[in-house]
Amino acid sequence: MSNSNENKFKIILHVDMDYFFAQCEERENPEIKGKPVVICVYSGRGDSGAVSTSNYEARKLGVKAGIPISLAKKLAPHAIFLPVNMELYHSISDDVMEILKEYSEKIEQESIDEAFCDLTEKINYFEGAKKLAIQLKDEIKQKVGLTCSVGIGPNKLVAKIASDHNKPDGLTVVRPEEVLQFLGPLKITDMVGVGKKTGERLNYLGVKNIADLSKLTADELIREFRHAKGIWLKQASRGIDDSPVEERSGTGQIGRIITLKENTRDLNIIYDAVDQLSNDIHMKLQARKLSFRSISFIAISHDFKTHTRSHTLTASAKDPDSIKTYAHELVKAFLAEHPVDLRRVGIRVANLEEEKGQRTLGEF
Query: Interface with DNA by CB under 7 A: which residues?
Result: 20-21, 41, 43-45, 48-50, 52-53, 65-71, 74, 111, 192-199, 225-229, 232, 248, 251-259, 293-294, 296, 300, 304-312, 343-344, 346, 348, 351
217: exposed, middle or buried (Cβ count in 10 Å: 0-12, 13-18, 19+): exposed
Q: Which residue, 111 or 135, has its beta carbon nearer to DNA?
A: 111
Angle made by CA atoms 116, 117, 123, in degrees to the nearest 5: 150
Q: Which residue, 114 or 118, has its beta carbon nearer to DNA?
A: 114
* Alpha carbon distance 209, 186 (integer Å): 5
Please tell me whether residue 312 adopts helix, strand or coil conformation: strand
CB of 153 to DNA, least distance (A): 17
Check: CB of residue 99 under 8 Å from CB of residue 140. Answer: yes
Query: What element of type H or E holds 182?
Result: helix 179-183
Task: Considering the candidates 114, 220, 262, 329, report the single residue annotated as catalytic.
Answer: 114
* Alpha carbon distance 107, 105 (integer Å): 6
DSSP symbol at 355: P
Q: Tell me which residue of 152, 154, 175 sits closest to 162, measured CA to CA.
A: 152
Q: Which residue, 122 or 332, has its beta carbon nearer to DNA?
A: 332
Backbone φ and ψ for 259, nearest 5 degrees, come out as -95, 130
Q: Which residue, 234 or 309, has its beta carbon nearer to DNA?
A: 309
CB of 33 to DNA, least distance (A): 19
Check: CB of residue 210 under 8 Å from CB of residue 216. Answer: no
Q: Which residue, 206 or 252, has its beta carbon nearer to DNA?
A: 252
Q: Which residue, 30 or 252, has its beta carbon nearer to DNA?
A: 252
Q: Which residue, 21 or 182, has its beta carbon nearer to DNA?
A: 21
CB of 110 to DNA, least distance (A): 9
CB of 4 to DNA, least distance (A): 31
Name 288's Cβ contacts closer than 8 Å, sequence gap at least 6: 250
Q: Tell me which residue of 155, 163, 173 sits closest to 118, measured CA to CA.
A: 155
CB of 141 to DNA, least distance (A): 20
Radius of gyration of the chain (CA): 23
CB of 229 to DNA, least distance (A): 6
* Alpha carbon distance 276, 259 (integer Å): 12
Tally of CB atoms within 10 A around 2: 8
- The residue count for the chain: 364
CB of 295 to DNA, least distance (A): 8
Q: Tell me which residue of 32, 20, 14 sits closest to 119, measured CA to CA.
A: 14
Task: Give catalytic status of residue 114 as yes or no.
Answer: yes
Catalytic residues: 114
